[in-house]
Amino acid sequence: MTLNRIALIENVLTKRFKFSEPFFFRAHEPGDMGWIVHKHGVLYSQEYGWDERFEALVSQIAADFINNYHPQKERCWIAEMNGEVVGSVLIVQESEAVAKLRLLLVDPKARGLGLGTRLTEEAIRFAKRTGYEKIVLWTNRVLKEARHIYEKLGFKLIAEEKHNSFGHELVGETWELTL
């Protein structure tokens, strides 16, 4: 076997090969915001016991994104696998210098593949190319997997606050990444 073939096989097996991931990203289309709202509502209810007020918040974020969409400064990535939507993330404009990461979600059937990290990396690349100086995001302490992604990619926890939302006592967190 030649060295080129060996390198190709190694790249495929270690997921460094461009097309080795079982998912791909695309821009949002009609129906995707509905999927995002529905999936957030169902999963956060099942996994964290959150009530319908969380779904209402996600619905408002999705509506604001569509109603105020600025394609040069904002983006939504939809991840598909085997013809099915399995993830999402948005970058929205907070100000000229600041982007906000919103609605990162990975369907349970696609977890463990690095999809959440890849979606977040794609959002970071877009924010850099677009000229933002930093990215901010708000999450909750109980969302350990998401928090792990943010920390791994260089986000810093800058604020915490206790709040009673979605039927639970929670600790909200603000994270920031300087670009």
Task: Please state which of the ranges 3-7, 30-34, 76-80, 165-169 shows the lowest mean pLDDT.
Answer: 3-7
On the question of pLDDT at 1 being above 60, the answer is no
H or E segment to which residue 144 belongs: helix 144-152
On the question of pLDDT at 9 being above 90, the answer is no
How large is the average pLDDT for residues 83-97? Answer: 97
Q: What number of CA atoms fall less than 13 Å from residue 138's CA on the CB side?
A: 12
Give residue-wise pLDDT tens across range 104-153: 999 999 999 999 999 999 999 999 999 999 999 999 999 999 999 999 99
Write the secondary structure of 23-80 as one string of H (helix), E (strand) and C (coil).
CEEEECCCCHHHHHHHHHHHHHHHHHCCCHHHHHHHHHHHHHHHHCCCCCCCEEEEEE
Which pLDDT belongs to residue 6? 54
Backbone angles phi, psi at 28, to 5 degrees: -65, 150
Which pLDDT belongs to residue 16? 47
* Residue ranges of domains in the chain: 24-178
If you average pLDDT over every residue of the chain, what do you get? 91
135 within 8 A of 123, measured Cβ to Cβ: yes
On the question of pLDDT at 40 being above 50, the answer is yes
On the question of pLDDT at 23 being above 60, the answer is yes
Structure tokens at 115: 């999809």
Q: Does domain 24-178 have CATH number 3.40.630.30?
A: yes
Tell me the sheet residues that pair with 81.
Answer: 84
